[in-house]
Amino acid sequence: MIVVDANVLAFYLIEGKRTTEAKALREKDAEWIVPVFWSVEFQSILWKYVRLDGMPMGKAAELLDHALAMFSANEMTPPPHMVLRDAIDWGITVYDAQYVSLARHLGIRCVTEDRSVQKACPSVALSLNAFLSDSSSGGVVREAPAPYRTRKRTSRHRFKH
């Protein structure tokens, strides 16, 4: 079981240069978990394909229906307070934190091609190719917990702009 972000779903469903890798990922671990709002991000990806790459609207609708049929049953909501804390502590967006926080909450990996998320959350997030080449993980997080679990909290937070 792994959490996958919307871009990995797009690689899997929209035929392109990364489809082979995404299919190999699905073969290695077929149980893909997604946060509830994944479909909004997937719709945004489809919108870009239609508007910028000339994908026919009918094809986009077909892909959306296929994605909804495949992944809606695997939706989960990470604890909102965890998402907010993780986003602040890791210095990532709340949208990105939905994926990595869900993975951390479940004790599994998040597969994403977002390098800033991989860099900010190396104990949870890794690339598609890194997951494929890691024969030991099997999707389970075996590394240290998130930094805020061991760090003392103060009443004042600093936000990076």
Q: How many domains are there within the chain?
A: 1
Q: Give the model confidence (pLDDT) of 112-145 as tens digits.
A: 999 999 999 999 999 999 999 986 555 444 443 3
pLDDT digits (tens, 9 = 90+) for 139-157: 444 443 344 343 433 434 4
pLDDT per residue over 12-57, tens digit each?
A: 999 999 999 999 999 999 999 999 999 999 999 999 999 998 999 9
Q: In what order do the strands lie in the sheet with 110-111?
A: 75-76, 32-35, 2-4, 110-111, 125-126
**Domain that residue 26 falls in:** 2-149
Two structure tokens written together for 144: 């240290």
Looking at the domain assignment, is residue 155 inside a domain? no
CATH code where residue 84 lies: 3.40.50.1010
Identify the pLDDT of residue 158: 40
